[in-house]
């Protein structure tokens, strides 16, 4: 079985391409603390056999994996956690307290995703969700540190994209492993000035104010780089963060502008507005990509971002009804 594509991005740190959706779409990150390993995010159950082969290709065995650390439980980040834990007998799963119950009992995750993708589509993308044994799952506290041989990883509670989202900071390299908290940045859109950074407002817990506060927390550490799941290492965190803050504000503005128009036709309006926002941003940043290719590369994100904004407006309406 071939190994997943991988590349070294710092001392003892590798970016591994899980192959989900397309090449260079969904990454996970392997950290070596001197023979003890941590894997941050892991993709879906379908890619776990190839992930184990990638470990072997790098000279490691599954027994060396000490931590499996999903940033949150969305299935492109944590769908394979149970299968990976089953293959790595010495590993402990560490994630956000709100995420732990869903990985111990992934029935709700599977039911929700099956509703979206259908049974065949779910199986093709994510395979079977394997429960994580409760005794091997640990809920991390904000600021808690985890020793990994010669390294130390620190967990930060970072809501905004999801209310159960956390990031991990490697004190040795000063890299943050950010899941979706630092947006998405596909390498196809890089130009000479750097990456294109976009918010990902995926259902169901977009919270722009909380997200901005999470970015404050991440940037307070003066990081050397941000390792995003979609996709790869992003340097110059200050410039990238400024771009992400604008993108979050732009997405929120799209939703708020539609708030008074009512539910009828909202899904279509939001999708068109999000498509215009993302495709215009891509065209300004890297015109050579072309709008048709950009639309193909961003198709899933356009759909999910629009759905997330729609759910945010529904949540705002419920709060308004309660408080009025």
The answer to whether 295 and 279 have CB atoms below 8 angstroms apart is: yes
Query: Alpha-carbon distance 196 to 190, whole Å?
Result: 6
pLDDT reported for residue 320: 85
Q: Which residues contact 176 (CB under 8 A, 6 or more apart)?
A: 167, 168, 169, 170, 182, 218, 221, 223, 225, 226, 227, 237
User: Which parts of 33-133 are beta strand (E)?
Assistant: 37-40, 65-69, 92-95
The answer to whether 40 and 72 have CB atoms below 8 angstroms apart is: no
**β pairing state of 175-179 and 166-170:** antiparallel
The answer to whether 78 and 41 have CB atoms below 8 angstroms apart is: yes
Q: What is the pLDDT along the chain (324 residues), one digit of tens a residue?
A: 577 899 999 999 999 999 999 999 999 999 999 999 999 999 999 999 999 999 999 999 999 999 999 999 999 999 999 999 999 999 999 999 999 999 999 988 888 777 777 888 888 888 889 999 999 999 999 999 999 999 999 999 999 999 999 999 999 999 999 999 999 999 999 999 999 999 999 988 999 999 999 999 999 999 999 999 999 999 999 999 999 999 999 999 999 999 999 899 999 999 999 999 999 999 999 999 999 999 999 999 999 999 999 999 999 999 888 886
pLDDT reported for residue 113: 76
Q: How far, in Å, are 124, 186, 228, 245, 279 from residue 284 at the CA level?
A: 34, 15, 22, 17, 9
């Amino acid at each position: 079985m071939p190994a997943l594509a991988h590349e070294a991005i710092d001392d003892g740190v590798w970016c591994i391409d899980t192959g989900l959706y397309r090449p260079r779409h969904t990454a996970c990150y392997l950290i070596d603390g001197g023979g003890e390993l941590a894997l941050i995010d892991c993709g879906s159950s379908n890619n776990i056999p190839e992930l184990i082969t990638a470990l072997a290709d790098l000279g490691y065995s599954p027994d060396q994996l000490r931590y499996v650390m999903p940033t949150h439980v969305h299935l492109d980040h944590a769908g394979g956690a149970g299968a990976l834990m089953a293959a790595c007998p010495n590993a402990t799963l560490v994630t956000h307290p709100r995420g732990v119950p869903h990985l111990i009992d992934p029935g709700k995750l599977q039911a929700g995703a099956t509703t979206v993708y259908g049974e065949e589509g779910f199986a093709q993308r994510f395979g079977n969700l394997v429960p994580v044994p409760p005794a091997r799952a640990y809920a991390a506290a904000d600021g808690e540190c985890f020793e990994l041989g010669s390294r130390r990883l620190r967990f930060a509670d970072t809501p905004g994209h999801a209310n159960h989202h956390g990031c991990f900071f490697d004190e040795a390299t000063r890299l943050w492993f950010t899941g979706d908290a630092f947006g998405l940045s596909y390498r196809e859109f890089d130009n000479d000035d750097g990456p294109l950074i976009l918010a990902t407002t995926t259902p169901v817990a977009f919270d722009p104010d909380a997200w901005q506060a999470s970015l404050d927390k991440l940037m307070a550490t003066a990081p050397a780089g941000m390792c995003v799941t979609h996709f790869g290492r992003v340097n110059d965190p200050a410039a990238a963060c400024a771009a992400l803050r604008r993108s979050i504000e732009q997405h929120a503005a799209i939703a708020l502008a539609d708030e008074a128009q009512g539910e009828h036709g909202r899904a279509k309006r939001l999708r068109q507005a999000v498509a215009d926002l993302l495709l215009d941003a891509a065209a300004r940043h890297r015109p050579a990509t072309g709008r048709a290719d950009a639309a193909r590369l961003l198709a899933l994100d356009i759909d999910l971002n629009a759905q997330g904004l729609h759910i945010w407006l529904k949540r705002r309406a419920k709060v308004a009804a309660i408080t009025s």
